[in-house]
């Protein structure tokens, strides 16, 4: 059975439209995301490991906001699930969700990096 999260999904056209059609702005957003998102993932991981609901909610909210600029709905949905888990203090499944998000992020980073080097 194929995993729901087996493919990277970011919509460059939608992200470009969100950037007002400005290629330079989109490239800048991508570069900022590539620089900042590993730190957000580290904060998420630490929050999950420490069962810190408040920190999980905040970090997931920040990541989902950044992902929305890139039109990356699958990763954003996983971040939303982590945000809700933190908000509701229901962290039982947060490690599994984080692992799925980590896979999505690795694929997204690779796709974004390949696109920025093209």
User: 3 lies in a domain?
Assistant: no
CATH number of the domain that residue 62 is part of:
1.20.120
User: 52 lies in a domain?
Assistant: yes
Question: Residue 113 — pLDDT band, cuts 50, 70, 90?
Answer: confident
Contact between 67 and 77 (Cβ < 8 Å):
no
Q: pLDDT for 5-48, tens place per residue?
A: 345 578 999 999 999 999 999 999 999 999 999 999 999 999 99
The predicted pLDDT at position 32 comes to 96
Q: Does the pLDDT of residue 70 top 60, yes or no?
A: yes
Compute the average pLDDT of residues 74-103.
96
The predicted pLDDT at position 4 comes to 40
C-alpha to C-alpha distance for 34 and 13, rounded to whole angstroms:
18
Q: Number of structural domains, the chain? A: 1
Range of the domain at 27: 12-110
User: 4 lies in a domain?
Assistant: no
User: 49 lies in a domain?
Assistant: yes
User: 116 lies in a domain?
Assistant: no
CA nearest to 89, candidates 64, 60, 54, 62: 54
User: 19 lies in a domain?
Assistant: yes
């Amino acid at each position: 059975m194929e995993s729901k999260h087996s493919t990277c999904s970011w919509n460059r056209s939608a992200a470009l439209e969100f950037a007002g059609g400005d290629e330079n702005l989109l490239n800048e957003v991508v570069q900022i995301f590539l620089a900042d998102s590993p730190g957000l993932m580290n904060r998420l991981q630490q929050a999950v490991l420490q069962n810190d609901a408040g920190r999980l909610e905040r970090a997931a909210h920040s990541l989902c906001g950044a992902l929305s600029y890139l039109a990356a709905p699958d990763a954003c949905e996983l971040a939303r699930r982590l945000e809700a888990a933190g908000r509701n203090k229901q962290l039982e499944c947060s490690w599994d969700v984080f692992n799925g998000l980590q896979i999505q992020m690795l694929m997204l980073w690779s796709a974004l990096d390949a696109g920025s080097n093209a």
